Structure 1
Amino acid sequence: MSSKIEQILGDSASYLLNHTSKTIDKSLIHVPTPSLIDNLWIDSDRNIQTLNSFQSLLGHGRLANTGYLSILPIDQGIEHTAGASFAPNPMYFDSENIVKLAIEGGCNAVASTFGVLGSVARKYAHKIPFVVKINHNELLSYPTTYDQVLFGTVKEAWNMGAVAVGATIYFGSEESRRQLVDIAKAFEYAHELGMVTILWCYLRNPAFTKDGVDYSAAADMTGQANHLGVTIKADIIKQKLPTNNGGFTAIKFSKTDPKMYSELTTDHPIDLCRYQVANGYMGRIGLINSGGESHGASDLKEAIYTAVVNKRAGGMGLICGRKAFQKPMKEGIELLNSIQDVYLDKSITIA
């Protein structure tokens, strides 16, 4: 075990690193391996070019050929306004620096907007895999609404040399069914062109907060969002790390089984994340958890915490943006490398 990882985790080290999961047995989980394409994807209906694109994602950066992914996502210029996102480090107003951070940080891929990646595609598309985020929630509509709309076409992403497209569905929102149809169609075409599909499976609905508790990252509800995502043939699922459980029972909607809470999960973060993994066909569709917003000095510990939980739950990696780019580039690179070290450490295994 890396002493550095233990030192960063501090009081949480033993809690996470020594945990034995007694919920969904680890033998049922498809753990990422260097032969992921041959073991899991070769029998799927994905065409040869899609498998080739998937392998290019898996074969790049410091985690190359481990089965794990470290992706730098910077679409916050749209999702959170450019000013709010880049004020801590204005150099990232320049799209080239976004791609440079991903390369210098040893990432498998860089995920960003049509504009960011298109502006430097000829220089960089052959140097690091591009993931084009094809829909966004823009923040100039007033009053603020939460709806993901397409900003371009799958063919446009393909033309700039991208190996994958990413999209968000706000499950639970008024517009979620339209988004579901839009993205299902987009993913179908992406697969025809030989591109990998990544779905941000986020929950958005004010009613998901009950008695002051926000259940938009509850394990039971995010797990179901993941299951909807893999149903429209997402190849990779992006999800927030669970912060609690019991959203369905607290809000009193949908359908549940008592075993969801008594046998399939506990309150341990690794077991909650394991439930998310299980909803992706027991890990056949890899789960990458998001790094979350930047909190300054605690960023490194939070990122390592999330990476350890994801890996020990059976996940596929981390997609970390704000914690990396809202600080000087050298510090951002160090943070990304530290996350990757968790997945390179063979002593950190599935719980």
Structure 2
Amino acid sequence: MAAQLQLTADHEALLQHQCRTIPKEQLHQPGPDFIDRSFVPSSRSAQVIRSLGQLYNHGRLGGTGYLSILPVDQGIEHTAGSSFGPNPMYFDPENIIKLAVEGGCNAVATTFGTFGTVARKYAHRIPFLVKINHNELLTYPNKFDQIMFGSVEEAWNLGAAAVGATIYFGSEESGRQIQEVSAAFERAHELGLATVLWCYTRNNAFKTADKDYHVAADLTGQANHLGVTIGADIIKQKLPENNGGFTALKFGKIHKAMYEQLSSDHPIDLTRYQVANCYMGRIGLINSGGESLGAGDRDAAIKTAIINKRAGGQGLISGRKAFQRPFAEGVELLHAIQDVYLDDSITLA
């Protein structure tokens, strides 16, 4: 059951928005029968369907068609000290799993090392999503490249229901990453595992003096479209904050309808464009929760969840806002996110 959500005026304004870009009727909308409608007719095997069922039918959102995933790979991506310094208990990998279990998440996404220490104790209690590649930051000077940290077979041996990977679309190394991840996802499907792709854009040219187009709807939407093309079952993407990356940076192919008809400057409309690029929602879009900024994290998380849900997305994958605070507060924040998806009065715009 959803608790009574404490909504701000900002939240209420989002609930009043009417989407006049891509009609919700054209979307493959989330729901209890989403796997039957979207994946059963696809090329996915019975084993992959079963793994997707593990993800979609677990936790407080189980059976709703929505997902709440706890991701904790920041110990590699951002350094362990900066990630766990605010709450050192999470240097112990077991506490990561405990937070996901107590938080009622559909799954926990983390590293080979974390799962390797506790797999036998928790593999039957919560679905594992193993992140198979990372950008490590110990190399000096820093380089930004996702490299494989293990194999799909190793993830399968750990009892995983799914594997996750990141591609830095737009980066110099993106061609190699696309090939590596495509092959890994093919192997994952052969073994019956679901696949989740972090579809991030990364290129220094995407950030100008006055705007960061790494979070532009048109660039992130195209990254999503590439991600679903190589076999991702779920797409993870940052919430869009602007648009017009292709036009501002003067590259790529565009049509004026992308900006004049299929989107607007409203965050729900920007996010709906991301959903449209996930085969009109046939492949679920989950947005990232972003960094922890302190006291306003709960309201920010609820806002992101409302935008994602009303746009036609399938949930949030939120980590730092949950684990960089005391355990009980982290559980409460995860529940607050989930309550947005459990609230039937919050509908597609």
| TM-score bucket (shorter structure) | over 0.9
| 2:200 match: secondary structure | strand
Q: Using the alignment, how far apart are the partners of 1:213 and 1:58 within structure 2?
A: 36
| Counterpart for residue 287 of structure 2 | 289
Quote how far apart the aligned CAs of 1:47 are. Answer: 0.3
AA matched with 1:130: F
| Counterpart for residue 93 of structure 1 | 91
AA matched with 1:207: A
Gaps of 5+ in 2: none
Q: Using the alignment, how far apart are the partners of 1:238 and 1:223 within structure 2?
A: 11
Normalising by structure 2, we get a TM-score of: 0.98
Q: Using the alignment, how far apart are the partners of 1:203 and 1:303 within structure 2?
A: 22
**2:3/2:339 contact within 8 Å kept:** no
AA matched with 1:154: V
- 62, 87, 92: which is aligned to 1:64? 62
- 316, 325, 328: which is aligned to 1:327? 325
| 1:27 match: secondary structure | helix
| Counterpart for residue 259 of structure 2 | 261
| Counterpart for residue 123 of structure 1 | 121
| 1:170 match: secondary structure | strand
Gaps of 5+ in 1: none
Normalising by structure 1, we get a TM-score of: 0.98
Q: C-alpha offsets along residues 212-250 of structure 1, whole Å, 9 cap, x if unaligned? A: 311000000000000000000100000000010001100
- 315, 318, 332: which is aligned to 1:317? 315
- 299, 305, 310: which is aligned to 2:297? 299
Q: How does 1:107-122 map to 2 (within 5 A)?
A: 107-122=105-120
**1:210/1:250 contact within 8 Å kept:** no
Q: Using the alignment, how far apart are the partners of 1:209 and 1:85 within structure 2?
A: 24
| 1:132 match: secondary structure | strand
| Counterpart for residue 308 of structure 1 | 306
AA matched with 2:255: D
Moved over 4 A (4+): none
Q: How does 1:191-340 map to 2 (within 5 A)?
A: 191-340=189-338
Q: Using the alignment, how far apart are the partners of 2:167 and 2:186 within structure 1?
A: 16
| Counterpart for residue 186 of structure 1 | 184
| Counterpart for residue 173 of structure 2 | 175
Quote how far apart the aligned CAs of 1:164 are. Answer: 0.1
Q: Using the alignment, how far apart are the partners of 1:118 and 1:34 within structure 2?
A: 32
- 7, 10, 25: which is aligned to 1:27? 25
Q: Using the alignment, how far apart are the partners of 1:299 and 1:338 within structure 2?
A: 11
- 59, 76, 79: which is aligned to 1:78? 76
**1:29/1:314 contact within 8 Å kept:** yes
What do you get for the CA RMSD once the two structures are aligned? 0.9
AA matched with 1:203: T
Q: C-alpha offsets along residues 183-220 of structure 1, whole Å, 9 cap, x if unaligned? A: 00000000000000000000111100123311000000
Quote how far apart the aligned CAs of 1:20 are. Answer: 0.6
**1:64/1:108 contact within 8 Å kept:** yes
Q: Using the alignment, how far apart are the partners of 1:95 and 1:50 within structure 2?
A: 27
Q: Is 201-210 or 282-291 further displaced after alignment? A: 201-210
| 1:120 match: secondary structure | helix
Q: How does 1:33-48 map to 2 (within 5 A)?
A: 33-48=31-46
Quote how far apart the aligned CAs of 1:285 are. Answer: 0.3
- 114, 135, 138: which is aligned to 2:136? 138
Q: Using the alignment, how far apart are the partners of 1:43 and 1:214 within structure 2?
A: 39
Q: C-alpha offsets along residues 132-156 of structure 1, whole Å, 9 cap, x if unaligned? A: 0000000011111100000000000
| 1:179 match: secondary structure | helix
Q: Using the alignment, how far apart are the partners of 1:17 and 1:203 within structure 2?
A: 29
Quote how far apart the aligned CAs of 1:14 are. Answer: 2.9
Q: C-alpha offsets along residues 31-71 of structure 1, whole Å, 9 cap, x if unaligned? A: 11101111111110000000000001111100010000000
Identity %: 67
